[in-house]
Amino acid sequence: MDYLADLFVRHRNAVGWMLLAVTAVAAAGYLAPGNGYHPLERYEQRLEEDPPTTTERVQSRFNLASSDAFLIVEADDLFTPEAIAAVRRTVAEVESLEFVGSVFWIDRVPILNVFGIADPLVPPNDASPEAFRQAEERLRAHPLAGQLISDDGRSLLMPIVYDWLRMDSARTATETLLATAREAAGDNLAAVRLTGRAPLFADQQSAFDRNQIVFQAIGYTLALILSALMFRGVAAVLVVAGAPCLGVFWTLGIVKLLGVPANPLAEVVMPVMLAMIGLTDGVHLLVQVRRRRAEGDTPVEAARDAISRVGLACWLTSLTTAIGFGSLLLAESDYVQDFGRICMIGVFIAFLAVVTFIPWVSSTWVGRYIDRGHDRDVIGRGVEGLRGMIGLMMRRRYAVSAVSIALTVGLGLLSLRLTPDNRMKTAMPASSQSYKALEYADEHFGGVEFFRAEIHWPETMASDDPQVLAAVRDVERLIEKESLLSRPLSIRSMLASFPGDPDDLPTQATFLSLMPRELRAFFHDEGERRAIVSVRMQDRGIAAYTPVFNRLEAGFAEMQPAYPGFEFRLEGQPVLISRDLYQIVSDLRASLGAASAIILVVLGFVYRSIRIGLLSVVPNLFPLVFTAGLLLWTGSPLDMSSVCAFVVCLGIAVDDTIHFLSRFKQELEVDGDIEAAIRRAFVGVGSALVMTTVILCAGFGSMLWSELPGHRAFAAMACSTIAAAVIGDLIALPALLTCFHPKQSSQTSGTRGR
């Protein structure tokens, strides 16, 4: 790094102009971003390019899984003239909204009988109370209408399809629709709720936007306050805080300008994370600058010395952190890949900002004041007082090393018991009204999340063959055995409304042609030779339903010999998530394995010692397995946020190790005495490591108050890892180096002053 340090001294003015130019480019990204999508929209289903046909619109009424929202109305006594009139009024007002395509409710359920002629399922408003009581019995017995009535008969579920081309935003639509429905319902309905994918997305988006601003401000403020308490000098605080803020400004501006795909986790976490990581490198640089200034160096000499002595360590920490994020590109999930890509870019940009801004500012007139407060360094004096502890630790080096290795291995084995999961609750703020409505729907309707069992019959078989209905019946029986599933709906359920014995399948098959065409086509598609059974599930987490899906598929395999030529399979978003669920664990193992191997090689190459690379495994792995053990102890599952957090944790853990090893190698060159070099390295970088640990925990810890559970989990994992990392690097690493570092063959005298 001496060459780069000399280059910096010779071209300081060019560095200043470079800082200004990059800042201008980043500012252009804020003014003219290359990608106008909200970060959450990338992971939502895209609108279809072609508008749906009339037949598709009609069929969508019966496909409850395709609904954009569910309006839930509740009344103390629902089937009364007053309550039903209020429901009709509510439906009319909601459908009058420009962005609402259709509302499906019990009054629009098709009549199922031989002649297709009967009294309406829902009586007119002026009918007698007795007529409404009779209607309630008919509706609850109706296979399709019964799907829209709660178990206690006090609530109605009304699927809504949006006209997305006429909508400004899901958030505005949710607020407008709910306000309109509640105003129309008046006092005749006890409660009006709204849930479904669009309202849930709107609540998540609102919380995301609030957190993006609030917690960045809190994190930066805490970091600034802690920096002031630690450095005790205005110039030092402004310089060390300004560098990471500049790095965040550059990163967000440049990625916006380039149109790099945004990511909801990265948009909130990345600015705080880059600020904290940049701050760690900044603290190490500034501690060295202040130390040299206090010893009498000029501002330029102090800046040059900081680049020379700390620059390589800062580069290695950024490189290894970027490798960790880059390893996420091996994941199958677009969400994880996007997080890794944008954070990897951000790490390099933040590194460039820190290693240019701090030395450049320190070499100007500001550098004359940067060492003020150095004599009041509380943490530095505290680390000096720990010399006795480092001596005791090295005397007990074999015991400390053995305990460190045993703890790491033991926690690593425990971490293998972590299980992945995916649940809507972990992505929603606690204040979300749409999620509370979802919980209500789970309790009273069996859920509003759907998957389907598909039965495909052979080409040689007629569509009205009774064997098709027999296959549907057997699939329904399998589903009914599962307590977590409810309300299966199929063509056989519909045919049960016709006269005769529901188990007389040949007779029931003759009624297929009498069913409304659109309704029949959805549940019994002759062209595709497919019958479906629609099934409801609740938001209990995919981990709870994966065994259910496995049992159903095993049941299908057992049925296969009885139905030659048939094909049975499960489809739907929950099934796809379940199939990909354990890919999360594979992604985590692949990412951490690849990152660890590359980092091990890099450290071995830079320090010219494979042994040092191997010795760094324990202090780097210990924080990760400690955090994994904490997840296991609290009963927290692995999810997308956890996978991303583990890689961030690896980068943070390696950072402290690199700074300690770099200082140790420099001190070892002085006299070749390993124990003396460890003591000097401990004092030399110990204060900076403790400072960065406190600042990082404060910065990430601010997100523990986030509304979004995923952000809180990420913050908790980061704080746990950071705290464990400083223990590993200041206790385990010195003991391991004392035990296993090769002895110097000859002592060399130092050529540098400290």
| Per-residue model confidence as pLDDT tens digits over 690-733 | 777 887 787 777 778 888 887 788 888 888 888 888 888 888 88
pLDDT grade for 244, boundaries at 50, 70 and 90: confident
445-578 to CATH, choices 1.25.40, 3.30.70, 3.90.660, 1.10.357:
3.30.70
Report the candidate in 48, 114, 35, 55 with the shortest Cα–Cα distance to residue 512.
Answer: 114
Whether the predicted pLDDT of 115 surpasses 60: no
DSSP string, 58-118: HHHTT-GGG-SEEEEEE-TT-SSHHHHHHHHHHHHHHHTSTTEEEE--GGGSPP-SSSS--
Q: What count of Cα atoms within 13 Å lies in the side-chain half-sphere of residue 753? A: 6
The string of pLDDT tens digits covering residues 276-333 is 778 778 877 887 888 788 788 888 888 888 888 888 888 888 887 888 777 777 777 7
Q: What is the pLDDT of residue 263?
A: 64
State the span(s) of the chain assigned CATH 3.30.70.
445-578
Q: What percent of the chain has pLDDT over 70?
A: 86
Q: Check residue 59 and give its pLDDT.
A: 44
Calculate mean pLDDT across residues 658-674: 82
Q: Is pLDDT of 251 > 60?
A: yes
How large is the angle between the packed helices 640-671 and 709-727, nearest 10 degrees?
20
Band of the pLDDT at 219, cuts 50, 70, 90? low
pLDDT for 552 = 95
Distance CA 469, CA 493 (A): 10
Q: For the chain, where do the domains classified as CATH 1.20.1640.10 start and end?
A: 2-39+202-420+582-740
The DSSP bridge partners found for residue 452 are 534, 571
Out of 140-144, 180-184, 416-420, give the one with best mean pLDDT. Answer: 180-184
**CA–CA distance from 93 to each of 81, 180, 271, 538, 687 (Å)?**
18, 7, 44, 30, 66
The per-residue pLDDT for 387 is 63
Longest dimension (CA), the chain: 106
| CATH fourth-level superfamily of 2-39+202-420+582-740 | Multidrug efflux transporter AcrB transmembrane domain (1.20.1640.10)
Stretch among 135-144, 164-173, 240-249, 574-583 having the lowest mean pLDDT: 574-583
Of 366 and 644, the one with more pLDDT: 366
pLDDT, position 313: 80
Helix axes 197-231, 433-445, angle to 10 degrees: 130
Convert 690-730 into a string of H (helix), E (strand) and C (coil): HHHHHHHHHHHHHHHHCCCHHHHHHHHHHHHHHHHHHHHHH
Average pLDDT score over the chain: 80
Q: How far apart are the first and last CA of the chain?
A: 17
The mean-pLDDT minimum among 178-182, 188-192, 481-485, 579-583 falls in 579-583
C-alpha span between 233 and 530 (Å, rounded):
74
Q: In terms of residues, how long is the chain?
A: 754
